[in-house]
Homo-oligomer: A and B are copies of this chain.
């Protein structure tokens, strides 16, 4: 049995499907649905690496709706759409008439007449991003049920205020391959820790996504941050429940060193405290520029108390055999490289730099998998068909 056939077999045995289900939060999905996304991503990567076309769409649009800057997620989404045969069309809200008072409901329909997937990134406002995605989904449901839309496009969350599933799932696929299987993750300790950054206001979605997902796989997840830098309480509760259900562990501490102790994996990354993000959201909505400046000042001053939350060689020595895998969603704030003092020392980052690139490389396939599983009832069938057709990606 070839590697591809073995992946297909695993997909078939899962008996899971995500057909016409938006991918907004990993904790809304069953274990098998998550595994389905991983395996389909691997099948697609196999095909691409072996010059086999994965085009399952002859035409159709993939809309990218970015409400915040992005390089890697933007390119990952574009790559995923292109791989499957969809053309990306950006919904640039500056160029469009949305600023003129259009409602979400109307716009969602107007962009969807020939659209198969909508990727949304909306992580600026606490309480807003996930809500916006659900509103878009409801508008599409209505449009489809009332005959406006011939098909109901799927939605992929490309980062919201709560979760960042394309990141966390790409991270999970990286761990699966790094450690040799999902079952190998059981009992492995991952330290998701805050780290110092000279910038402020970074979203909570990455740490939340990580604790919400890795607790599903029996891992020993330790979340560490300086006092005051807590995450959204509901997500922390979810992580606790997940850990219990999966036979893993979940612990919150206030020490980077403690979290690193005996860790198999470390994920040091800056974020803004939940309470600051709430204040910031209110100020942004009011357009209170002075208030925002004050908040930034306070927040940066507070951050500065925790400059020792840097992932350096000394702390790495505390990890299992001194050899924990360093992870980051990129771009990292690297001391003496991208800033004076940052999340990670230049030496540690350089040692793991290529690993972080490989980690990022799974994202296009994870997104492509989320698109494919959303649009096709039977993922194994469609993959088998594409494989059999054997159309070359590049003519040889």
* Candidate in A54, A95, A106 with the most chain B CB atoms within 10 angstroms: A106
Closest to A332 in B: B106
In the bound assembly, the distance between CA atoms of A111 and B395 in angstroms comes to 23
5 A–B contacts from the bound complex (CB under 8 Å): A58-B393, A61-B79, A71-B91, A78-B89, A146-B354
Question: What residues of chain B lie closer than 8 Å to A361, measured between beta carbons?
Answer: 113, 148-149
A75 lies within 8 A of B110 (CB): yes
Question: What residues of chain B lie closer than 8 Å to A4, measured between beta carbons?
Answer: none
A110 lies within 8 A of B79 (CB): no
A375 lies within 8 A of B357 (CB): no
A385 lies within 8 A of B393 (CB): no
Could you tell me which A residues sit within 8 Å of B by CB distance?
48-49, 53-61, 66, 69-72, 74-76, 78-79, 82-83, 85, 87-89, 91, 95-103, 106-107, 109-111, 113-116, 142-143, 146-150, 199, 330-331, 333, 337-339, 354, 357-358, 360-361, 363-364, 375-376, 382, 385-386, 391-395
Contact A364-B96, Cβ < 8 Å, known A85-B59, A148-B357: no
CB distance from A42 to the nearest CB of B (A): 14
CB distance from A282 to the nearest CB of B (A): 24
CB distance from A109 to the nearest CB of B (A): 5
A114 lies within 8 A of B82 (CB): yes
Select A79's contact among B83, B98, B114, B357, beta carbons within 8 Å: B114
Told that A58-B394, A147-B358, A148-B361 touch, could you supply 4 new A-B pairs with CB distance under 8 A?
A: A56-B395, A59-B85, A79-B114, A101-B338
Question: What residues of chain B lie closer than 8 Å to A83, measured between beta carbons?
Answer: 59, 114
CB distance from A23 to the nearest CB of B (A): 19
A88 lies within 8 A of B89 (CB): yes
Question: What residues of chain B lie closer than 8 Å to A392, measured between beta carbons?
Answer: 58
B357 lies within 8 A of A106 (CB): yes
Select A48's contact among B114, B143, B337, beta carbons within 8 Å: B114
In the bound assembly, the distance between CA atoms of A90 and B147 in angstroms comes to 30
B71 lies within 8 A of A96 (CB): yes
Question: What residues of chain B lie closer than 8 Å to A333, measured between beta carbons?
Answer: 101
B98 lies within 8 A of A71 (CB): yes
CB distance from A61 to the nearest CB of B (A): 6
B148 lies within 8 A of A103 (CB): no
In the bound assembly, the distance between CA atoms of A361 and B48 in angstroms comes to 34
CB distance from A289 to the nearest CB of B (A): 21
Question: What residues of chain B lie closer than 8 Å to A96, measured between beta carbons?
Answer: 69-71, 74
CB distance from A81 to the nearest CB of B (A): 9
In the bound assembly, the distance between CA atoms of A330 and B79 in angstroms comes to 33
